[in-house]
């Protein structure tokens, strides 16, 4: 009894040291998660489990990385330490890690309001986010990405921006999750690409064409997420027309881009659960920014700094053209069919 209590006390002290990344013992993390019994979610990089540090006061989320994709232990520790020093109000905090044999664990702060996809698409069980909350989430996520791209020693390209990787704390402050994970995987980038391609609807055209990936790929993905925040619609699905606006039938990002480009009223793009309760200027800025983000040519896409400035209203946003790639996707019946039937990672 004494030895067990002593182990828990030491574990809690280590986990509570200010700002330091903790190398947890695998057994301690396993106990904290009750042998990985409460699964929160999962994806191409691995599964996530809820845990509680000894004392019951600190909830954590433990990501169990897919071991077949991981780098060696020495490189893993080096890369984790690099990620561990990255701290921003709109990034999920990495508390520590564990490495035993082929097992690789990452210990993060737990976000009590879950992921953005549950807030947007959770159905009746999830209360509709207000426009104010949505706009602040969009702005906060943009600031988090901006920090990854320009605020770190080296530019970090996320590679998998989607609502599932934007988490919400108790106050609905958005936190970008899973940043830097590509560095923790074996550096065969084609395998990373295979993983990321499982996320339908957020991929920039350059992922498919094979040109080098830059931070502008994240910008494209963010634009797709921004359309979902505004509309409450999964962007990769073909939506039927509504009585209020028959023109909404079809591939929604293309419908939205056409409305924005032609200067039409944007009320029909708004999530109907909001009953029109949104700031029209913020809605217009958000829709224009989203459509600039998803331009085919990455040179025409804004940087995340420009995105933040545009959303804040610091700079004006011109009317964007309709991206050709959206028209191609709208004509791809196989893409739209897979979007209806395949699960998101």
Contacts of 285 (CB under 8 A, 6+ apart): 310, 311, 313, 317
Q: Please, is 153 exposed, middle or buried when counting C-beta atoms within 10 Å of its C-beta (0-12, 13-18, 19+)?
A: exposed
CA 207 to chain centre: 17
**Binding-site residues from annotation for ATP:** 64
Distance CA 29, CA 36 (A): 9
Closest residue by Cα to residue 159 from 108, 211, 221, 206: 221
Distance CA 11, CA 55 (A): 10
Distance CA 69, CA 161 (A): 20
**Binding-site residues from annotation:** 64
Closest residue by Cα to residue 91 from 40, 142, 17: 142
DSSP state of 298: G
Q: Under a CB-based contact definition with an 8 Å cutoff, are residues 325 and 296 in contact? A: yes
Kindly list the catalytic residues.
Answer: 160
3-state secondary structure of 313: coil
Q: Under a CB-based contact definition with an 8 Å cutoff, are residues 268 and 275 in contact? A: no
């Amino acid at each position: 009894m004494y030895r067990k209590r002593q182990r828990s006390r030491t574990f809690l002290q280590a986990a509570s040291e200010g700002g330091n990344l903790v190398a947890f013992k695998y057994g301690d993390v396993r106990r904290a998660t009750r042998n990985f019994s409460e699964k929160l979610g999962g994806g191409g990089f691995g599964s996530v489990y809820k845990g509680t540090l000894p004392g019951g006061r600190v909830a954590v989320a433990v990501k169990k990385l897919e071991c077949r994709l991981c780098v060696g232990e020495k490189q893993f520790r080096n890369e984790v330490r690099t990620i561990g020093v990255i701290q921003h109000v709109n990034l999920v905090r990495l508390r520590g890690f564990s490495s035993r044999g082929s097992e690789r664990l990452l210990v993060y702060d737990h976000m009590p309001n879950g992921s953005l996809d549950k807030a947007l698409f959770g159905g009746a069980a999830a209360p509709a986010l207000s426009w104010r909350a949505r706009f602040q989430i969009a702005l906060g996520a943009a600031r988090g990405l901006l920090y990854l791209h320009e605020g770190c020693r080296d530019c970090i390209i996320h590679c998998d921006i989607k609502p599932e990787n934007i988490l919400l704390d108790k106050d609905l402050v958005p936190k970008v999750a899973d940043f830097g994970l590509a560095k923790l995987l074996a550096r065969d980038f084609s395998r990373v690409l295979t993983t990321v391609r499982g996320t339908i609807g957020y991929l920039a055209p350059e992922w498919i064409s094979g040109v080098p990936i830059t931070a502008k790929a994240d910008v494209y993905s963010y634009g797709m997420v921004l359309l979902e925040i505004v509309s409450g619609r999964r962007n990769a699905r073909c939506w039927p027309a509504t009585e209020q606006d028959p023109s909404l039938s079809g591939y929604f990002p293309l419908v939205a881009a056409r409305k924005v480009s032609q200067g039409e009223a944007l009320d029909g793009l708004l999530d109907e659960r909001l009953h029109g309760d949104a700031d029209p200027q913020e809605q217009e800025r958000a829709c224009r920014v989203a459509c600039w983000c998803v331009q085919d040519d990455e040179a025409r896409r804004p940087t995340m700094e420009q995105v933040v400035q545009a959303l804040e209203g610091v700079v004006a946003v011109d009317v964007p053209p309709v991206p050709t790639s959206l028209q191609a996707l709208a004509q791809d019946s196989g893409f739209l069919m897979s979007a209806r039937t395949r699960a998101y990672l």
